[in-house]
Chain A
Amino acid sequence: MDTPILEMKNITKEFPGVKALSNVSFSVAEGEIHGLVGENGAGKSTLMKVLSGVYPHGSYTGEILFNGVTQKFSSIRDSEKAGIAIIYQELALIPEMTVYENIFLGNEIKKGLRIDWNETIKRAGDVLKKVRLNVNTETTVKDLGVGKQQLVEIAKALSKDVKLLILDEPTAALNEDDSENLLNLLRELREHGVTCILISHKLKEVIEIADTVTVLRDGKTISTLDSKTGEVSEAILIKNMVGREINNIYPKREKREFGEVVLEVRNWKAYNPSLGRAVLKGVNFNVRRGEIVGIAGLMGSGRTELALSIFGNPLGYQIEGEIFVNNARKYFTHPRDAIEAGVAYVTEDRKGNGLVLIQDVKQNITLANLREISRGVVVNDNLEVKVANEYKSALNIKTPTVEQIVVKLSGGNQQKVSVAKWLFVKPDVLILDEPTRGIDVGAKFEIYTIMNRLVSQGMSIIMISSELLEILGMSDRIYIVSSGRIAGELPIEEATQEKIMQMATN
């Protein structure tokens, strides 16, 4: 039982400007369930990508031993051949195909040149029994719930004779029953000798099921704890996960009096029809004039869904609940309505749905408020340049001219353009979703300084962030979101990393 099936030694992986993993050692014993925990960005996913060959041999340093043999995977195919299967949070099934087609996709059973469908269906049935999934193999995958789809994924892995199964946040999208089923299945697989790595934010289930738990933080192995010696508890894990020091990258802000409530959301529920589940289950929160409200929560907890559903609901969720802006009930059916009511939203995905990358800085800055620089329907080019230059100097956007296309700017400067665009609509409430993701420390400091200046001018800010330190460093008040609900509210004086983490992982 204690011979390691997998040993990763001194793994270091660097991206331009960031050390994602530094000298990580990670060892998994044969036949165990090994929990891997850490904050967002701690390096869990990167480590697993190194293991599975997504980052090929040579792009990292260090050694991987699997079954005692040094492995040099250069693609996922290699690691699959060796018997390693990863099941991602985003399921990799083809929704329009049947269960049996999905299970043997890429691994088809052939008779001559043809696919042997009868044998395929028979074997699919066998492997479905192993995962205790009682559905017809000819069901189309899109007709299954998320929990069952997950089981199909596991069945797919088992059909390839997997020795090491890696599950990345398998229960994030599942309800309690489905989660319990899945954990039971993992126990059963363990009895049949399948080794399993479980990456999860839900510490309770990790403690419940894992034999060993490894904690990563900032790309380093912090500890490996063995449940048999009884030292695994939520408190220890959280302490290991969050033990970072607050450094002085958060600019000081004078304590101010807050004004009246500017934006209030009551009993907000959202149902995502394409996923077929509720993403928000009754959220209440408010923000006052001049206040920075932090919204903390783990990935998939519903933070971004909350922001988007309030901001005119562009994704078309089914919505219940009430929004009040300055105590007046508002109905936002399109982002335009929200903008007109004085709400602005700076997206977490500036490249995907924030900026028009092929257009220049000035065009991006003015896009949401062209009326301001137009006479009638005609855009005043000179005024546009003037406005853009004002924001360029106010936010210190580093670009040779405002006629530079945005794709050529650095991440931090792109983010500033994104912020400038929304400041130009002159909002009362600015929602910032992951405002400092993927930008360097200097640019972060500048963004924080801008935020402080804005609230001192009477704007209200809602900051959604995965980074606990940022939440603690910048907020006046913190809401913690977990599984589509507000799991807690903390004034900044009472907030600690441990408390937030505890609520978020609950």
Chain B
Amino acid sequence: MSFINDLQKVLRQNIREYGMFIALFLIMAIFTATTGGVFISPRNISNLLNQTGYIAVLAVGMTLVIVIRHIDLSVGFLAGFLGAIAAIALVSWGLPVYIVIPLVLALGALAGCITAFPVAQLGIPSFVASLAGWLIYRGAILLVTLKTGTIIIPDKAFNAIGNGYIPDIPGLNFLPELHKLTLLLGLVALVLFIINEINSRKNKMAYNFEVLSPGMFALKLIFMSALVALITWVLAGYNGLSWTVVIVLIVVGVYHFITTQTVLGRHIYAMGGNPEAAQLSGINVKRIIYVVFGSMGMLSALSGILFASRLQSATTTAGTLFELDAIAAAYVGGVSAAGGVGKVTGSIIGALVMLSLTSGMNLMGIDISLQYIVRGAVLVAAVIFDVATRTSGK
């Protein structure tokens, strides 16, 4: 009985944190049921994750932008434009892929700083500054693809980023239909996760902080482990981990580390929570704006690379509406428009929720018109849920 009580208490207290996982889980369960299991099939999940990639990296950057109470509307067409630049660099200039990628990422960071300039120096609202960027980069894509139209990218290494999978360990013959390296990585991740959780619980207990009761802790471990194991199993059943997923995991890992563990992360969240207090605490608020927008620009470039690579070409309409998908993912993932609140991991879950909806409804054959309406309703519901639980939570 106390177990049930514990469960209720934990859920009530952490409804914000777990809500998004539960929502994702429910959405996946519903689509699995309505599509007769097709949704959860390895092939579909693998596709779903690869499609989420280019929005997910944008959502990560957008999280920080919204945390410091700004917005960046230019990221979609910036991604498209830089994707086209990458294609031109590969095809027309003949540059090798290992030069093109860092070059384009650097250009992205530069573009982000240019957007940040009027915001930081002149106090221009970022909505306006980045709307100007939206128009400019939209024009820029058309400009650079004017003569060629869609640019086909023949570079195999580049295209592997959006379409390829990590190689398997050679010479293993058991379980022929499963990807062994993926299984191994999943297992390593699982073990690391459990060790980390146990350590952090021990640490907290050493400081006499409140920790989950043993029952709840075990339940959490089992739930999260099951999730990781499931995803690993599903992915291993279809070509294994894609390079896109690897890149997204690295980006999320790095940004999660920066936001939760570093001085820079602290400064970003303090500025979002109270810009005046942050400034009076000696934080260089202008520098934070440059850093956050610069990182957003760099991730836009990454998004553009992922998208161009996935299509194996740069198109004239690449990047259309990416910015709104990214913003929606961030809000669904629990980022607060009031600033100072929001997790990178939350936004990734938000992106997965939105893409799962699209994918699931596509499989069910639901008309695109209804899809938009459903996604809009989910966005509003998520934000209402977030606001409602913020006041009652801890």
Contact = CB atoms under 8 A, between A and B. Distances in A.
Interface of A: 311-312, 314, 334-336, 338-340, 345, 347, 352-359, 363, 366-368, 370-371, 374, 377-379, 381-382, 385, 401, 403, 421
A363 B263 CA distance: 11
B201 to A, nearest CB: 14
A476 B130 CA distance: 54
Contacts of A339: 281-282
Contact of B261 (A345, A347, A379, A385): A379
B231 interface: no
Contact of B341 (A314, A336, A355, A358): A358
A385 B207 contact: yes
17 contacts: A314-B280, A335-B280, A336-B283, A338-B282, A340-B282, A352-B276, A353-B277, A355-B274, A356-B274, A357-B273, A358-B341, A359-B269, A367-B277, A367-B281, A371-B263, A382-B207, A403-B209
Given A358-B341, A359-B270, A359-B273, A335 B282 contact: yes
Given A353-B276, A355-B274, A356-B270, A378 B261 contact: yes
Interface in B244-295: 261-267, 269-270, 273-274, 276-284
Contacts of A358: 273, 340-341
The main secondary structure of chain B at its interface with chain A is: helix
A477 B269 CA distance: 40
Given A334-B282, A357-B274, A367-B270, 11 more contacts: A311-B280, A334-B284, A339-B281, A353-B274, A356-B274, A356-B277, A374-B262, A378-B261, A379-B262, A379-B266, A385-B207
Interface string B214-256: 0000000000000000000000000000000000000000000
Interface of B: 203, 207, 209-210, 261-267, 269-270, 273-274, 276-284, 340-341
B341 A367 contact: no
B102 to A, nearest CB: 22
B222 to A, nearest CB: 26
B346 to A, nearest CB: 15
A265 B291 CA distance: 35
A363 to B, nearest CB: 7
B280 A345 contact: yes
A382 B209 CA distance: 12
B123 to A, nearest CB: 11
Contacts of A311: 280
A357 to B, nearest CB: 7
A385 B207 CA distance: 8
B280 A354 contact: yes
Contacts of A382: 203, 207
Nearest to B208: A401
A354 B277 contact: yes
A230 B232 CA distance: 93
A340 B262 CA distance: 21
A377 B263 contact: yes
B14 to A, nearest CB: 14
The list of the 5 closest CB pairs from A to B, nearest first, reads A353-B276, A336-B282, A356-B273, A368-B281, A339-B282
